[in-house]
Amino acid sequence: MDPISNPFAPGAGSPPPELAGREELRETARIALERVRRGLPSKSILMVGLRGVGKTVLLDRMRAEAEQRGLYTVRVEAPEDRSLPAILAPELRVALLRLSRTERTKDAAQRALRGLAGFAKALKVKYHDIEVGLDFEPEAGLADNGDLEHDLQALLEAAGQAARQGQSALAIFADELQYVAEDQLAALITALHRTAQQRLPVMLIGAGLPQLRGRMGRAKSYAERLFDFPEVGPLPEEAAKLAVSKPVRDAGADITDGALEIIFQETRGYPYFVQEWGKHAWESAAASPITASDVQRGSAIAIAALDESFFRVRFDRLTPLEKRYLRAMAELGPDAHRSGDIASVLRREVTSLGPTRAQLISKGMIYSPSHGDTAFTVPLFDAFMRRIMPGDDWKKN
């Protein structure tokens, strides 16, 4: 059918035509934010899940919904190589400038902006990557100690006071939090702990790979009590089918139950795959309705497309030994594996592979679901590894 009207949107962070099956999580975020706005106790939310389950688009949706309800939001994404204060400062500035435009919140927001100036100047020594426009002179003693843990706390307190003046809240939406260095995570946790104790309307809604939970716990042992860690997983059958059928019908076409059934089986409800299969099923169909055989013809193309994008970008960032490590895991199947088993596939000592495993965890390729276990952070990555490294040459040292 006409590719121009194809509604599907495979791609990291691309908003789907239908955000299916996430009503409960959206409601959880709404309740948490509205409680914090009213000065009621409420936990920050950190959504954890594998690659491609839809954390980023959910975060963006929650943010849009929060903005619509009149909250002040900040959106950051932690890259692998930049500091948290550097990514936070410019976004916080924008939110504070908005707060400073309203009469009721002007004074408090300007104070927070002075805090931001002190924060940036004092921390620049340690975090050279901080670049932020300064609108006011710093206020001596306000967030300008040069110590992240202290200064972030003071800054978020000042920002929270401004939001409270406006009977609103400041919501920080942070993606890829697993990449934030542990000392910086610790500072963020402490700052949020402090604002929560004072019932200031400041909240973090974050997302990250499954290793985030453990990282938070290591950064501050009380983090587990301070945050909720809802899991974002594959879509249940009904939601996965709706994610395909609704956009098709909204575009004036139709799809058979048999076709939806195969899409669910092939994708196992993983949102990224659902989009990819939806897209190629649409393209394979000559006319409406899209049938099971259209889906089957589209499958091979969907897999090839994933190999070239979703899987490939991750694979290309690996060293030869990292690739072999993942290939050995794939040999053992899709689930979690013991380090010893992976090492024996490669005929190596476990300890000699320790650094490789650690590198793969820090690149976000694998995580440890429980002590000594290793699993992929990308769904169906095992099958991809077998496709891209077929045979068993990779076993040779």
Ligand X SMILES: Nc1ncnc2c1ncn2[C@@H]1O[C@H](COP(=O)(O)OP(=O)(O)O)[C@@H](O)[C@H]1O
Indicate which of ligand X, Mg ion, none lies near residue 206 (CB less than 5 to 8 Å, by partner kind): none
d(CA 27, CA 65): 10
| Residue 75, strand partner residues | 173
Indicate which of Mg ion, ligand X, none lies near residue 272 (CB less than 5 to 8 Å, by partner kind): ligand X
* Closest to 397 in 3D by CA, of 331, 359, 332, 349: 349
Residues within the interface to Mg ion (CB under 5 A)? 56
Which residue number, 56 or 184, has a Cβ lying nearer to Mg ion? 56
The reply to whether 61 sits near ligand X by the rule CB under 6 A is no
Which one of residues 1, 48, 54, 259 is an interface residue with ligand X (CB under 6 A)?
54
Q: 304: which 2 tokens? A: 């090839």
Which residue number, 16 or 166, has a Cβ lying nearer to ligand X? 16
Which residue number, 221 or 362, has a Cβ lying nearer to Mg ion? 362
d(CA 196, CA 148): 18
* Closest to 21 in 3D by CA, of 242, 173, 220: 242
Which one of residues 37, 43, 55, 279 is an interface residue with ligand X (CB under 6 A)?
55
The reply to whether 247 sits near ligand X by the rule CB under 6 A is no
Buried b (16+ CB within 10 A) or exposed e, 226-245: bbebeebbbbeeebbbbbbb
Indicate which of Mg ion, ligand X, none lies near residue 271 (CB less than 5 to 8 Å, by partner kind): ligand X
Binders of ligand X among residues 253 to 272 (CB under 6 A) are: 271-272
The nearest distance, CB 207 to Mg ion, in angstroms, is 7
* Closest to 285 in 3D by CA, of 239, 254, 323: 254
Indicate which of Mg ion, ligand X, none lies near residue 358 (CB less than 5 to 8 Å, by partner kind): none
- Give the CA-trace dihedral at 102, 104, 108, 109, to 10 degrees: -10
The nearest distance, CB 43 to ligand X, in angstroms, is 21
Which one of residues 262, 274, 306, 329 is an interface residue with ligand X (CB under 6 A)?
274
The neighbour count for residue 359, using CB atoms within 10 Å, is 16
Query: Residues interacting with ligand X, by CB under 6 A?
Result: 9-16, 18-22, 49, 51-57, 243, 271-272, 274-275
